[in-house]
Amino acid sequence: MAEDTGTLLPGQSAGVFARIPGFVDKVLVTPGTAVKKGDVIVQLKSVEAEAQKAIAGVPSSPEMRQAIDSVKGVQASTRTSSDDLQSVAPFDGVVTQVSVEPGSLVGPSLGPMAHIENQDTLRLSVTMPEKQAPEVSQGAKVPFTVSSLPGHAFTAVVTRITRSAQMRSIQLEVDNADGLLAEGMRPSLNWPEPERKSPAGRGVKRL
């Protein structure tokens, strides 16, 4: 029973945020850059350096001066370490988006500066009516194919099954270490056929 039932998603996906309010000094990656956990993605400037520029007469807009005063106030109430000025990759992966540039005002509540994904493992969520759901258990292997990769066969593993309001949700994971699959592909899952029960008494020999 083959059925196109969902879209492959990255196994890990996260935004990279600034730990404290500040200004971007350097952006060390671009979209497509492969990173390791702990690699520095964005380096922030110390607010003191920006304040010194303003004092020294370096031209700055009213918005910039207001932002500097605001950030100084926040940082003055907290202890700022060199680690706070570095935003790092939370896991191994690939940078898919960069949203800031040198000079950008950033902060924990101002949105992500970059986005990272890891597609070594992909995930898939399938939700369907209970009556139509296949009989599978956690750990079951479900073969599938993808139309854009003819001749290739893949396997997904059931990791979680939940039921609610006559619906069943099945979570699956796919090993993508070879990198053939990608986010957005739609797999055709070959769910196991339901077991057919033999009519009562059939096949039983009477002595």
Tell me the domain boundaries of the chain: 2-10+118-190, 18-111
Could you say which architecture CATH assigns to the domain 18-111? Answer: Beta Barrel (2.40)
* pLDDT tens for the chain, residues 1 to 207: 556 568 899 999 999 999 888 889 999 999 999 999 999 999 998 766 665 665 565 655 665 666 666 666 655 555 566 778 899 999 999 999 999 999 898 988 889 999 999 999 999 988 888 887 778 888 999 999 998 999 999 999 999 998 887 888 889 999 999 889 999 999 998 887 766 555 554 554 544
CATH number of 2-10+118-190: 2.40.30.170
The type of residue at 147 is S
End-to-end CA distance of the chain: 40
Provide CB contacts within 8 A for 71, sequence distance 6+. 21, 22, 23, 47, 50, 105, 107
Provide CB contacts within 8 A for 180, sequence distance 6+. 149, 152, 154
pTM for this one?
0.69
Q: How far apart are CA 78 and CA 125, in angstroms?
A: 42
Q: Which helix (H) or strand (E) holds 11?
A: strand 9-16
